């Protein structure tokens, strides 16, 4: 629709299940979020199936769906999507892995973030891994905090299954190590890395500060880059993305969206929400579509911290959704979509494949429920988008 301005806000993992601590309501239902509720009351509210049958509920698969791409035809693994954000390529015989710094205690996954290791510490570990494991031919690449990458050569015959570390909190890692053709090579590399990482001098400082030590690397999410149709060619809309985590930035870059860097955006609970909101408002003057991703609710869900999750949702509403909505309403034609990619329930601390709620409002979008936004209200209506990748078309064209 010519002249239309669009905004999509992605509060990662914001959806949840009823929480006893909240009187049987969810963080979304308890949070004070007047801007989001205005969108739900004055527009459409429903649910979307972001996880196709046979897939795990990772942010990679779910976000591809929300961007309007069918994971069944374009998904090759999480790591190559993150690599795209950093301009890391791979040849046909190479394999890209996500490489987490983690804390494993007594054989159990205690912390998949290694205490949210600082960037400076992570950079030092990556440099030392590259030096001391150079004979392996593998190359480690620094990312954001615990989220890093590794490229393995001569891997055209490696066909393994791996597990995301955030899916196994407090579980035995022995039950989730890489398996399949070539897995011994990957496991051996992880063992060698443990000898370097666990004994590293940064852990002395972390111990003194009462922070979780970095004991291991965890390799997972492997794959090879795969070309995707440009977003503008697919939907006829120019897009820009604002995100702190490489996964979302990589997806956006892979479909030809412009990336905006925001100072103070951390991909964590302490991210600068207001800076993201200001950047989105400015971007609407130049681009047809602005996508803003905020990782904080997902991080709170993984920690099982219900209060932090409620607070994150409230900050997203106040500092991102409210100013973006105000800016949109200054244009003659506009639409806005609020879409969590998946639930990250604080009770389980892992992703769920339950269809998350969404709400959208704007020109030519009629109200269907006239109720505040939340899982219960969204489920009460009859609007279900399945498959999930059709939501983008519904939002842009309905």
How is residue 54 written in tokens? Answer: 């046979």
- Predicted confidence at residue 381, as pLDDT, reads 86
Residue of 52, 77, 87 lying closest to 66 (CA atoms): 52
Give residues with Cβ within 8 angstroms of 139, minimum separation 6.
Answer: 130, 150, 151
Q: What is the pTM of this model?
A: 0.91
Closest CA to 243 of 260, 268, 256: 260
Instruction: Indicate the DSSP class of residue 246.
Output: H
> What local confidence, expressed as pLDDT, does residue 125 receive?
97
Q: What is the pLDDT of residue 226?
A: 87
Let me know: does 391 contact 385? Beta carbons within 8 Å. yes
- State the CB neighbour count (10 A cutoff) for residue 207: 11
DSSP 363-384: TT---SS---SSHHHHHHSS-E
Helices vs. strands in the chain: H and E counts, helices first: 16, 15
Parallel, antiparallel or unpaired: strands 216-223 and 95-105: antiparallel
Residue with token string 């954000």? 85
- Tokens 């666990």 found at: 198
What six digits make up the tokens of 155? Answer: 């891997």
Instruction: Assign 3-class secondary structure to 123-159.
Output: HHHHHHHHHHCHHHCCEEEEEECCEEEEEECCCCCCE
Backbone angles phi, psi at 6, to 5 degrees: -125, 145
What's the pLDDT at 155? Answer: 95
Confidence at residue 391, expressed as pLDDT on a 0 to 100 scale: 98
Q: In what order do the strands lie in the sheet with 334-338?
A: 258-260, 239-242, 289-294, 5-11, 334-338, 357-362, 44-48, 384-385
Cβ–Cβ < 8 Å for 268, 116: yes
State the number of CA atoms in the 13 A half-sphere of 79 facing the CB. Answer: 28
Measured between alpha carbons, how far is 114 from 214 in angstroms, rounded to an integer?
Answer: 5
For tokens 């190359």, the residue is 139
According to the model, what pLDDT value does residue 2 have?
64
Q: Bridge-partner residues for 172, per DSSP?
A: 108
Element containing residue 319 per DSSP (H, E): none
Contacting residues for 106 by C-beta, under 8 A, at least 6 apart: none
Measuring CA to CA, which residue among 70, 45, 40 is closest to residue 55? 70
Q: How is the chain split into domains, by residue range?
A: 5-75+227-397, 95-223
Cα–Cα dist 314/362, whole Å = 22
260 within 8 A of 283, measured Cβ to Cβ: yes
Q: In this structure, what token pair is assigned to residue 27?
A: 């963080």
Three-state DSSP class for residue 357: strand
Q: How far is CA 142 from the centre of its chain?
A: 18
Taking residue 391's Cβ as centre, other Cβ atoms within 10 Å add up to 25
Cα distances (Å, whole numbers) of residue 364 to 3, 42, 47, 95: 14, 11, 20, 46
Q: How high is the mean pLDDT in each 10-residue block of the chain (398 residues)?
A: 89 98 98 98 97 95 98 94 93 95 97 95 97 97 95 95 95 97 97 96 91 96 93 94 96 97 94 98 96 97 97 98 98 97 97 98 94 96 95 92
Contact 386, 355 (CB under 8 A): yes
Q: Transcribe 201-229 into DSSP letters.
A: THHHHHHHTTPPP--EEEEEEEE------
CATH code given to domain 5-75+227-397: 3.40.720.10
pLDDT of residue 92: 87
Q: How far apart are CA 337 and CA 10, in angstroms?
A: 8
Listed residue (381, 292, 380) closest to 341, CA to CA = 292
């Amino acid at each position: 629709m010519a002249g239309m301005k669009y905004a999509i806000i992605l509060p990662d993992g914001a959806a949840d299940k009823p929480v006893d601590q909240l009187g049987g309501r969810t963080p979304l239902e308890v949070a004070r979020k007047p801007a989001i509720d205005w969108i739900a009351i004055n527009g459409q509210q429903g649910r979307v199936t972001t996880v196709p049958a046979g897939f795990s509920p990772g942010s990679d698969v779910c976000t591809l769906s929300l961007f309007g791409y069918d994971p069944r035809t374009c998904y090759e693994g999480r790591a190559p999507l993150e690599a795209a954000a950093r301009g890391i390529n791979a040849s046909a015989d190479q394999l890209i892995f996500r490489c987490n710094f983690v804390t494993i205690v007594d054989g159990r996954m205690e912390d998949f973030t290694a205490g949210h290791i600082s960037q400076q510490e992570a950079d030092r570990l990556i440099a030392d891994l590259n030096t001391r494991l150079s004979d392996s031919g593998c190359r480690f690449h620094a990312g954001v905090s615990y989220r890093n990458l590794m490229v393995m050569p001569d891997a055209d015959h490696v066909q393994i299954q791996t597990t995301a570390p955030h899916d196994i909190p407090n579980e035995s890692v022995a039950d989730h190590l890489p398996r399949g053709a070539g897995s011994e090579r990957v496991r051996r590399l992880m063992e060698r890395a443990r000898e370097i990482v666990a004994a590293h001098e940064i852990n002395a400082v972390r111990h003194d500060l009462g922070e979780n030590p970095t004991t291991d690397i965890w390799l997972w999410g492997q794959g090879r880059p795969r070309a995707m149709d440009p977003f503008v060619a697919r939907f006829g809309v120019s897009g820009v993305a604002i995100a702190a985590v490489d996964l979302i930035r990589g997806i956006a870059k892979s479909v030809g969206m412009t990336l905006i860097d925001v100072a103070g955006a951390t991909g964590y609970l302490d991210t600068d929400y207001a800076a993201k909101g200001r950047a989105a408002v400015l971007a609407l003057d130049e681009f047809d579509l602005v996508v803003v991703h905020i990782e904080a609710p997902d991080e709170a869900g993984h920690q099982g911290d219900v209060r932090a999750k409620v607070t994150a949702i409230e900050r997203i509403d106040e500092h991102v959704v409210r100013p973006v909505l105000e800016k949109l309403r200054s244009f003659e034609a506009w639409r806005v979509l609020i879409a969590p990619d998946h639930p990250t329930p604080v009770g389980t601390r892992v992703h769920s494949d339950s269809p998350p709620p969404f709400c959208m409002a704007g020109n030519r979008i009629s109200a269907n429920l006239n109720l505040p936004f939340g899982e219960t209200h969204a489920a009460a209506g009859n609007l279900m988008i399945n498959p999930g990748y059709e939501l983008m078309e519904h939002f842009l064209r309905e």
